[in-house]
Amino acid sequence: MEGNGEIEGDSRKGVKEMEIERIKSIKDLPPEENVLPGTPTCAGCGGLLALRHCMKALGKRVVIVNAAGCFTLLSIYPFTPFKNSWLYTAMACAPAGAQGIRDALDILVKKSRLDPEEDLKVVVLTGDGAAYDMGLSSTSGAIYRNLDFYYICYDNEAYGNTGFQRSGATPFASKTGTTPPGRISPIGSELPKKDLFEIWNSHKPPYLATISPAHPVDLINKFKKAEQYKGPKLFIALSPCPPGWGIDSSYSVKLAKLAVDTGIWALKEAVFGEVKHTVVPKRFKPVEDYLKEQGRFAHLFKPVRREEALNKIQEMVNEYWNRHKLLL
Amino acid sequence: MLTGNAAAAWGVRLAEVDYIPVYPVTPQTEIIETLAKWISDGDMDSKLVTMDSEHSMITAAGAASATGVRAFTATSSQGLMYGFEMLYTVAGWRVPLVMVNVSRGLSSPITLEPDHNDVLAARDSGFLQIHCETCQEVLDSLLMAYRLVEDEQVLLPVIVNMDGFYLSFTREPVEVPELETVRKFLPPYQPRHAFFKASQPMAQGVAVLGGSMYSYFKYQMHLASQNALNVYKEVCGKFEKEFGRNYDTIEGYMLEDAKYVLVMTNSFSTLGKAAVNKARERGIKAGLLRLRLIRPFPVEDITGALKGRRAVAVIDQNISIGKGGILHSEIASCLYNEKQRPHLLSFIGGLGGKNISPGEFEFIFDNMIKVRGVEGEGEKTSQLLYTETEWKEMARLKGIAGKG
Ligand SMILES: Cc1ncc(C[n+]2csc(CCOP(=O)(O)OP(=O)(O)O)c2C)c(N)n1
Ligand code: SF4
């Protein structure tokens, strides 16, 4: 098996974090590419960039279990961009597919029908629609059962594959296909984004983190740290989506970075429920810097400035960082 | 003496199943509880996982099968509906999963007793279907099912069906075969087409673009299901050789010289056979055809058994709302091009476990005898079997409900 020695997830108390070898700069990123170019995703897809980094960290001995979403189209007969295995399930149940595969691999190894060298890491890959909404039950079940798996959620803050409709991950004031700003509802989505990190963290999984395609060093180090734990290792990647967010495809990384710099996307991790922020901007940029770049928030600026909505977004961000006593 | 549920559990134990994801639902739960106890006591070397829903359960079972283990799961009615999306999905993965369905009427109104709208809703999914009349048959069918679907010419999942309550909770004498004999009949599962291992990366369940690829893979499933007809006959022969019991795709009861034939499935067939005996006492040349293998549909066997009869009455323990009996339509399509096609009558009976009384069977035979007209002509609509006593009781209940 690749990686460090595993720590049994069952004896949770008293588990000591292992010293891991951190990388320091992008020059140290693993050179191997496990997602090859030539996929049908949109140019500048932030999710694909995040996935590329994740797969550098995970290596080749992986089976990805996918739910319906944009990335389902990564593997279209007879092609796949992956060097690893793949199973497409359906929208709600990728974690249940991971349960079946993980259990089956364990059984085969235990009954000496599979060489332990042939074992695989089981990695769930879904969008936010599957993770925040329809797949919540199957994910909660998998975490509750302490399934030894990875979950990568690329969060583009809407149902992307169906053309960008509101999901539980859609932030307040976003325009989507089902929350179009209009005369009666000028703000777009009236509801704030669900806090999936806290929902998942309430299960106290061994490892949980938010990641960003604009922070590959942080991302890789989180995977390195996660590797030592047996049990659920969960990742949520804020993933700029050029067609849905209304940005130029060359802006994805800039937007992902702005999300962190404005404090909208908090980079953090939780080990058995204990939360720690991993990247805290020295000075937070105003959220407007992030919002005004995107077509999905354009109605907050034109034809009239929606001061109240803009303030509310800034206040939500301030409140978050105040609560964590990290607002300087 | 074993219940249908216990017989199913024995089938799973003897098949040395590796993996069993479960979710409780009446009247199936006794199967998974029995297996859980055996595993806990060390009598069975399998892993059982209680999932968060049937949707997850069927996914996990199918994914494990796609990884290369022998998997089993069981459900009923609402559970089958809840997992419905995954029936089609798992069938498309071409994995030899065996699932028991314990039939129960579908909500609403919510009920516990059996009919076959649940299992027949899955008839187009790609799962093969074996329907059982007795507890012995449940056990035996499970063993046959693994052998059948693990054959490389088939590789499709299968549902073994039994009626809730009437079979699941009914104790009958069951012969439990020796494990050694079962091993001779059912070799270990060694997948060559679908598995996951590091040295041989494989993409399974991938998307297709366009109708020509989609049609290709769908029709392959259909052809594999058709292959299963021949493979079934082989499996049947081998099973009889090993265990001395024969289960053909269909079962004929007093068919030889029968002019008037009932077509039934599952445990209510026992009532039908008793009715045939009674009719014979009255001098009617009665017989019964029980359908056992429903997917693939054994068209030739059915046609062979029914052509040349004077009248055939299909008793559907299901109702396709707006059409009538489901199996009636399927039988009619088998017979349409036959020169000697019988008059075909359609009855709906036993919905939600409603009894079919001797009087109702008499009514059916009388109808068959009365039927006149052009060769091949029968009833155009289905008739509901419902007795006067039941009608009066329903009127009384409606009175209580204030709708009298
Ligand atoms: C049960 C079910 N309902 C609806 C769909 C349609 N559907 C396909 S992809 C998709 C969007 C998924 O959104 P998300 O999980 O956010 O992933 P993204 O498309 O953004 O990659 C939807 C709704 C489906 N495939 N299955
Ligand atoms: S719609 Fe968005 S998430 Fe989907 S492929 Fe395009 S950029 Fe990526």
Structure tokens at B279: 């009719």
pLDDT of residue B194: 95
- Residue list, ligand 2 pocket, CB within 6 Å: A 41-42, 45, 47, 70, 156, 160, 241-244
Among B218, B243, B268, residue at a domain's last position: B243
Q: Does B211 touch chain A (CB under 8 A)?
A: no
Domain of B66, in residue numbers: 4-243
- Is B183 in the same domain as B256? no
Q: Does B85 touch chain A (CB under 8 A)?
A: yes
User: Once rounded to an integer, what is the mean pLDDT over residues B153-177?
Assistant: 97
Residue B403 resides in a domain: no
Peptide bond into B109 cis (omega under 30): yes
- Is B69 in the same domain as B52? yes
Angle at B86 between CA A230 and CA A59, to 5 degrees: 35
Residue B181 resides in a domain: yes
Q: Which of A152, A147, A153 is nearest to A205 (CA)?
A: A147
**What percent of chain B shows pLDDT beyond 70?**
98
- Is B170 in the same domain as B201? yes
- Is B146 in the same domain as B33? yes
Q: Where is pLDDT greater, at B376 or A53? A: A53
User: Once rounded to an integer, what is the mean pLDDT over residues B221-228?
Assistant: 98
Please name each of the domains of chain A with its CATH number: 26-323 (3.40.50.970)
- Residue list, ligand 1 pocket, CB within 6 Å: A 68-71, 91, 126-130, 156, 159-162, 167
- Is B230 in the same domain as B261? no
How far apart are alpha carbons B385 and B355 in whole angstroms? 9
User: Once rounded to an integer, what is the mean pLDDT over residues A146-169?
Assistant: 98
CA B187 from centre of chain:
24
User: Once rounded to an integer, what is the mean pLDDT over residues B10-21?
Assistant: 98
Answer whether residue A57 shows pLDDT above 70: yes
Peptide bond into A95 cis (omega under 30): no
Task: Work out how many CB contacts closer than 8 A connect A with B.
Answer: 154
Residue A217, SS3 per DSSP: helix
CB A142 within 8 A of CB A203: no
Q: Is the ipTM of this complex over 0.95?
A: yes
B279: domain CATH number? 3.40.50.920
H-helix or E-strand containing B50? strand B47-50
Q: B377: how many CB neighbours lie within 10 A of its CB?
A: 12
Dump pLDDT digits (tens) for A61-82.
999 999 999 999 999 999 999 9
- Is B120 in the same domain as B172? yes
Neighboring chain A residues of B55 at a CB cutoff of 8 Å: 92-93, 96, 138
Residue B124 resides in a domain: yes
pLDDT of residue A328: 61
Pairwise CB contact (< 8 Å): A72 & B207? yes
Strand ranges of the sheet holding B98-103, from the earlier edge strand across to the other edge: B72-75, B98-103, B158-163, B128-131, B293-295
* Total domains present in chain B: 2
A72, A73, A100: residue with CB nearest B61: A100
pLDDT of residue B373: 58
Answer whether residue A153 shows pLDDT above 70: yes
Q: Which residue in chain B has the smallest CA separation from A80?
A: B203
- Is B217 in the same domain as B261? no
User: Which of A60, A83, A87 is the best mutation test for B, with the most CBs of B within 10 A?
Assistant: A87
Residue B144 resides in a domain: yes
**What percent of chain A shows pLDDT beyond 90?**
92
- Is B190 in the same domain as B274? no
**What percent of chain B shows pLDDT beyond 90?**
97
φ, ψ of residue A27 in degrees (nearest 5): -65, -25
Dump pLDDT digits (tens) for B22-59.
999 999 999 999 999 999 999 999 999 999 999 999 99
- Is B224 in the same domain as B272? no
Answer whether residue A11 shows pLDDT above 60: no
CA atoms within 13 A on the CB side of B73: 34
Dump pLDDT digits (tens) for A214-250.
999 999 999 999 999 999 999 999 999 999 999 999 9
Dump pLDDT digits (tens) for B391-401.
999 999 999 99
Residue B404 resides in a domain: no
Residue B178 resides in a domain: yes
Q: What is the mean pLDDT of chain A?
A: 94
Question: Residue type for A37, please?
Answer: P
User: Once rounded to an integer, what is the mean pLDDT over residues B103-121?
Assistant: 97
Among B194, B218, B243, residue at a domain's last position: B243
Neighboring chain B residues of A61 at a CB cutoff of 8 Å: 198
pLDDT of residue A4: 37
A92, A117, A120: residue with CB nearest B196: A120
Answer whether residue A1 shows pLDDT above 70: no
pLDDT band at A327 (very low <50, low <70, confident <90, very high): confident
- Is B239 in the same domain as B272? no
pLDDT of residue A82: 97
Q: Which of A267, A256, A269 is nearest to A208 (CA)?
A: A269
pLDDT of residue A19: 78
CB B312 within 8 A of CB B344: yes
B21: domain CATH number? 3.40.50.970
Answer whether residue B155 shows pLDDT above 80: yes
Ligand 1 centroid to residue A293 C-alpha, Å: 26
- Is B209 in the same domain as B283? no
pLDDT of residue B376: 47
Residue B141 resides in a domain: yes
Residue B155 resides in a domain: yes
Answer whether residue B187 shows pLDDT above 70: yes
- Is B215 in the same domain as B325? no
The CA-to-CA distance between both ends of chain A, in Å, stands at 44
Among B214, B243, B272, residue at a domain's last position: B243
